[in-house]
Chain A
Amino acid sequence: MFNVNSIRKDFPILSRKVNGKPLVYFDNAATSQTPQQVIDVIVDYYSNYNANIHRGVHTLSQEATDKYEAARQKIQKHFNAKHAHEIIFTSGTTHGINLVANGFASLLKKEDEIIVSALEHHSNIVPWQMLCERTGATLKVIPMNQEGELVMPEFDTLLSKNTKLVFVNHVSNALGTVNPIEYIIEKAHQVGAAVLIDGAQSCPHLKPDVQALDVDFYVASAHKMCGPTGEGMLYGKEKWLKKLPPYQGGGEMIAEVTFKKTTYADLPHKFEAGTPNICGGIAFGAAIDYMNSIGFEAIATYENELLAYATKKLLQIEGLKIYGTSKHKTSVVSFNLEGIHPYDVGTILDKMGIAVRTGHHCAQPIMDYFKIPGTVRASFAFYNTKEEIDSLIEGVKKAKMMLS
């Protein structure tokens, strides 16, 4: 049974105060909070079996290696990958995207095309721009509409035999739109293109099945899923990971080294140069266990309730406009008060202990589309409550009163 009050007890940070008020944490899309179960795993690692992995014969190294590889298997199972070696540990979504973009540099020709969406995190457009500069390939963009949804008929017309790669986020971080990735993957495959899905914003809310999706690459960050920062995963189909060249050179990723030639290690180690974030990987596994113990169906049902409640309550405030009005959304509300700068609203809310994000949310093209400087973004997690949303509503009303 889903019980938010007992869930909240798992998160020590939720009982702290900010500016003298109980913390209301609504910046979950930037990073999620960490439950005691995951904190314990981190403490246990450094207290009991901290050691380098895959190289020592000693007991600690064995234990750390076993736990690290067990975490890989948890991630494999969670995403339903066919093989554990299709899961590459990364430092996060950004790392995974760069790894794939870099790998494609050797596969692309001048006439090739890459398609990205207008809803991307703008820092994630940069690797593709760099890739196009290096290879002469062309970058095409799937446009969005007023609802904050991608325009699929336009996507259809962008696809051609020159399309080699399609990059789309599963869920938009600025607006919360859930994109029709099943359709995108199917259509892209029809012209022989590979698809990389950015799951940074989807994985906290739903459980992707990479085999059912038939997706070629899928990336995520642990810190948005109740895990630690600086840790993430890249799923890649075995055939693709074999085809791509390694991203970084170093220890762990080699089988044999002479000064003439190095042979690379097998998957997944080929892409895991250097000592990884061992504790981070193990804690990522624990975070996935934790979220599954609550259950993604229960999480989605509850978060949808929060989203509906917040949307209804916010829209009762005169002059408030919500950006991103798709029917398919995760629990994110991006909004502005008419004539008031989002930065002002965020500052007043902070004084009331309410953490929201303000600004362009690393999605400048979306803000340009709506012709606004940014929005106030409240993003809810399964440990938030309706009472906290009531505090937000009070805060927004107060901000409106003070600022207009």
Chain B
Amino acid sequence: MTIEEIQNELIDEFSMFEDWEERYQYMIDLGKDLPLIDEQYKTDNNIIKGCQSKVWVHAEMKNDKIEFTADSDAIITKGIIAILIRVFSNQSPKDIINAEMDFIDKIGLKEHLSPTRANGLVSMIKQLKMYAIAYQTQLK
């Protein structure tokens, strides 16, 4: 599936919920399916700065596509990174770099983009795209 298809799938899934509680519950559940980062990569180097909770992300290139794994010490944050990884994992660096992110708003998570969240979601997106840029340069 393309990034856009996955995003649309997520929009569909989230559109079924009536209120914030169900949305958050689903997000928390998505966190439980997160491809977990190998313990050896849970280093300070792999922590995304600018989150109130800790988020570790690891990226690996397989067949010209990037595979992400991650973890967080907070459950909601874990759900958020799981959503991002579902969108970005197994995609080419180029597609990740060019991906539009307005689906975040459409699934009702806009408030996580606010700077008072210590830029949690913004930093995560930035970091994932940084990995893609790094791998893209390697490919050339």
Any B CB within 8 A of the CB of A162: no
Q: Does A374 contact B (CB under 8 A)?
A: yes
Most buried by A among B20, B53, B111: B53
Chain A 370-404 interface 0/1 with B at a Cβ cutoff of 8 Å (1 = within)? 00011000000000000000000000000000110
A17 an interface residue at 8 Å Cβ cutoff?
no
Instruction: Answer whether A403 and B73 are a contact pair too, CB < 8 Å, given A348-B24, A358-B52, A373-B53.
Output: no
Q: Which segment, of A200-208, A301-309, A337-345, faces chain B?
A: A337-345
Chain B nearest CB from A122 CB (Å) reads: 15
Rounded to whole Å, the gap between the CB of A21 and the closest CB of chain B is 10
Q: Does the CB pair B20–A351 fall under 8 Å?
A: yes
B73 CB contact (under 8 Å) in A350, A359, A373, A402: A373
Q: Kindly report which residue of chain B lies nearest to residue A404, judged by CB atoms.
A: B75
Q: A341-B74, A343-B76, A344-B74 are in contact. Are A402 and B24 (CB under 8 A)?
A: yes
Closest to A359 in B: B52
Determine the interface band of chain A, counting residues with CB < 8 A from chain B.
10 to 19
Chain B residues, Cβ within 8 Å of A341: 53, 73-75, 77
Instruction: Tell me if B54 counts as interface (CB < 8 A to partner A).
Output: yes
Q: Which residue of A lies closest to B51 (CB)?
A: A343
**A-facing residues in B1-59 (Cβ within 8 Å):** 20-21, 24-25, 28, 52-54
Q: Chain B's interface: helix, strand, loop or mixed, by majority?
A: helix
Q: Which residues of A contact B21 (CB under 8 A)?
A: 351, 402
Minimum C-beta distance from A395 to chain B (A): 12
Interface presence of A47 (CB below 8 A):
no
- Most chain B beta-carbon neighbours within 10 Å: one of A340, A341, A359: A341
- Enumerate chain B residues within 8 angstroms of A350, measured Cβ to Cβ: 111
A5 at the interface (CB under 8 A from B): no
Could you pull out 19 A-B pairs where Cβ atoms are within 8 angstroms? A19-B20, A340-B75, A341-B53, A341-B73, A341-B75, A343-B53, A343-B74, A344-B76, A344-B77, A347-B76, A350-B111, A359-B118, A373-B53, A402-B21, A402-B24, A402-B25, A402-B28, A403-B28, A403-B75
B interface residues (Cβ-Cβ under 8 A, vs A): 20-21, 24-25, 28, 52-54, 73-77, 111, 118
Chain A positions within 8 Å of B, measured between CB atoms, are 19, 340-341, 343-344, 347-348, 350-351, 358-359, 373-374, 402-403
Known pairs A341-B74, A343-B74, A373-B53; list 17 more (Cβ under 8 Å).
A341-B53, A343-B52, A343-B53, A344-B74, A344-B75, A344-B77, A350-B111, A351-B21, A351-B24, A359-B118, A373-B54, A402-B21, A402-B24, A402-B25, A402-B28, A403-B28, A403-B75
